[in-house]
Structures are given as structure tokens and as C-alpha cells.
Chains A and B, each alone.
Chain A
Amino acid sequence: MPSLKDLRVRIASVQSTKKITSAMKMVAASKLRRAQEAAEAARPYAERMERMLSNLAGSMSAGSGPKMLAGTGKQQVHLVVVMTANRGLCGGFNSNIVRNARLYIRELLDQGKTVKVLAVGRKGAENLRRDYRNLIGDVVTDFGRKRVQFSEADGIATKITDMFNAGEFDVATMIYARFKSAISQIVTRQQIVPFPVPEKSATAPAAGGPAAVYNYEPTDTEILTSLLPRNLAIQVFRAMLENAASEQGAKMTAMDNATRNATDMINGLTMKYNRTRQAQITKELIEIISGAEAL
């Protein structure tokens, strides 16, 4: 039976925890709004870039063009870019991404592929290190201090491009959480290298005419060689923004739950405290009365 003092101390400590979690919830909520705006603002560019690239890729004959489009012709070495947050306390956010990544890596390993991991975000690296220490090639944690900058995404994209040009992998896949709402984030796998060309039918004009033939300035290969790394950077950027929004959403939900739990706990403890106090008073009264009766 805890003493009254113990209960008082516990109530106080839960109360201060509650204050912290509710403050964190507020912070996450305001950060979420900003991150969400940023993610939405970056969408038009990424969408048009993708459309432009599919048009261009669709007009190239299959298998031709730069390697980033056509692939290396092999599927042996896979690069898995695992995007997580740098910080915890955001519910299942990081563990969901890592779980998905782990599944994917296992799948690839079972198929006899070679897997390399590029971890973006500290939490993902820490979690994957337990099982796949030797696979992790590089860890990027220096991003999103205040908000995600394009230069940060560009840096990661450059890293990926360099690795690809050096022939260090054949296929790259990115795993991140797409932001749907504050309570729902969808872990998504996206192949980024080689650029996944949509089905021919999707790019052909609906009118049934011949596929659009573009004029290129300077030449199609030149445009492709500048467009492809650019697109990679954009896709990474978009994923990072989506991830940032998802992280804040998950954090907000997690902190909201924590606050609610703390409230429940305080109620329970207060009830117990009052009962104990009442019991003690009753006990003292009985002692006094029985003492008086004995006289």
C-alpha cells in the first residue's frame, strides 16, 4: 500500500509529464502545418517534372538513352534508401518505415541479391544497424534542422548519382512515409533508379493519334542527362518533405495519446489518493472512538 506521500509524488510527476507531452503536441501541430504546406507547395513541380520526363522517356526507344533511364541491364545490386526521422517520440513512425525496409531487404537477400543501404535519418540507421550492420553504406543525418532544404535533397541525390555512375548498384529504391493525414501515414516504396517509365499506353495521346514527337533543344540526350539527376533530386526532395510532414503528424498523434494517458493516470491516482486519505481518517477516528469507549 503506497503511502499518501508516495501518491502525491507520483501524481506530481505524471502531471509534469503531461505538461511536456501536451507542449510537444502543440509544437508538432504547428510544425505539421508548416511541413504540410511545404510538402504541398513542392508537389506541382514534382508532378510536372515527372510528366515531362515520362513524355521524354516514352519517346526514346526502349533500352536506349542514359543508363539512369535504361538501367544497367542487371538487377543484381540493390540500393535501399531508408528515410526516417532524426528524432524519436513519434509513435510508430520510424519503426513502421524500418519494418518495411527490413522486409524488403530480407526479400532481396532471399532472392540472392546484393543489398546496400543508404540511411537518411538517424533513427533508421540505429534500428537497421542491429540486423544489417554490414549493409549500411552511408548515413545522412544532417538535414531538416529547421525545414527541409532543397540543397540537402540535392546532396543526397548527388551521392546516389555518384554511386550509380561508379557502378556501385543497379537499382535504387526509396522507402519513406507518404503523408495522408495527421493520423495516417503510408509507408511507400518508390523505385528511383532507373527511372520507372510508365506503360506506353499511358503516355500516348487519348485521341489515338501518333505519340507526341517533341523537338529538343539542345538534343534529347542532353536534356535527359540534365533532367534525370534533376528529377532524382526532386523525388528525394519530395520524399523528404512528405516524411517531415508525416513525422510531425505521427508525433502529434503520439503526443496526443500520451497526454490522454497521463490524464487517465492522474485521475486514477487522484482517486486512489483520496480513498487512501479517507481510509486513514476513518482509521484514526476508530482509534479515537475505541480509545474513548475503553475508558
Chain B
Amino acid sequence: MAATLHLEVVSLERLLVSEPVEMVVVPGTEGYFGVLPQHMLLLSTLRPGVIDVYNGGAIAERYFVTGGFAEVTGSSCTVLVDEALPLATLTRAFVTERAAKAKSLLDAANTDEDRRRAATMVAHAQVMETYVAA
């Protein structure tokens, strides 16, 4: 049994994952980085992308996340994100609906604040698109 680190994925709504894993690959703002046990202390911002959870030498689970923060210590990796979805739930229909919703919000936005938020949603939907195809 390889050494493990404790992974926590926390979204705004709930604690999504809290389990020991062998390795996790996280989409940092400056590129993906892998976290193994005994990793140096690290704080990083995240961009929208996919978290790969490795167990038993292969990818065990994948989650789509929409940007946030990751804190890495030697024994744990805590990922704070606005929204996290198991990649399996990212179906074509789901993403299309999201994209359409984001688009309509952007069109309806009439303050800078709303526009900014809607634009972020559109960007997220676009990133999602790329993962549906894969």
C-alpha cells in the first residue's frame, strides 16, 4: 500500500470528497500540478478544469471544478472551489443547458456586476465543453 494523503474537495454547498488518495492532479492557475504525499507546503489558486484523483496507480475519480483555491501540506490537500461536479455528470445535454443559461444571463445583465458574473459563467461553460468531448 502506497502512502496516501488526505484529499478534501469542498464546494460552497457541501464537502464533496474527504478521503485518502495516492495522488491528485489539480488545475493550478499556472498549470496542472500533481500532489503526492510529503509535498511541500503550497497555496495556489485554481482555474476551471478537472481534478484527477489517483488510487491504485490509475485515475479513480475525476471532478470538474470552476476555479478556487488549493492548500497543500505534506499530509493533506484541501481544495476549495465554487462548484465541483463529478465529471460523469457533465453530459452533453447538461453542458448545453448551462451554456444557454449563461448566455441568456449575459444578455439580460444590465449592471457591471451582473455582466461580470454572467461572463464568468459563460467562460466556465466553455471550459466544460472541452471536457464533454474528451
Chain A interface residues (CB < 8 Å from chain B)? 41-42, 44-45, 48-49, 52, 55-56, 150-151, 154-155, 158, 212-218, 220, 222-223, 226-227, 230, 234, 237
Residues 3 to 27 of chain B near chain A (Cβ within 8 Å) = 8, 10-15
Chain B interface mostly helix, strand, loop or mixed?
strand
Contact present for A48 and B80 (CB under 8 Å): yes
Contact present for B10 and A217 (CB under 8 Å): no
**New contact pairs (19) apart from A48-B8, A150-B82, A217-B44, CB-CB < 8 Å:** A41-B14, A44-B14, A45-B11, A45-B12, A45-B80, A48-B78, A49-B80, A52-B71, A52-B78, A56-B43, A217-B29, A217-B33, A217-B42, A217-B43, A218-B30, A218-B45, A220-B43, A223-B45, A226-B69
Cα-based distance from A214 to B69 in the complex (angstroms): 14
Residues in B neighbouring A155, C-beta threshold 8 A: 113
Cα-based distance from A56 to B14 in the complex (angstroms): 23
Minimum distance in angstroms from A36 CB to a CB of chain B? 14
Chain B interface residues (CB < 8 Å from chain A)? 8, 10-15, 28-30, 33, 40-45, 69, 71, 73, 78, 80, 82, 113, 117
- Determine which of B13, B80, B113 lies in contact with A52 in the assembled complex, contact meaning CB atoms within 8 Å: B80
Contact present for B78 and A45 (CB under 8 Å): no
Contact present for B30 and A216 (CB under 8 Å): no
Cα-based distance from A223 to B44 in the complex (angstroms): 7
Show 24 residue pairs from A and B whose CB-CB distance is below 8 angstroms, ordered by the A residue: A41-B13, A41-B14, A42-B12, A42-B13, A44-B15, A45-B80, A48-B71, A49-B80, A52-B43, A52-B69, A52-B78, A52-B80, A55-B43, A150-B82, A212-B73, A215-B41, A216-B43, A216-B44, A217-B43, A218-B30, A223-B43, A223-B69, A226-B45, A227-B69
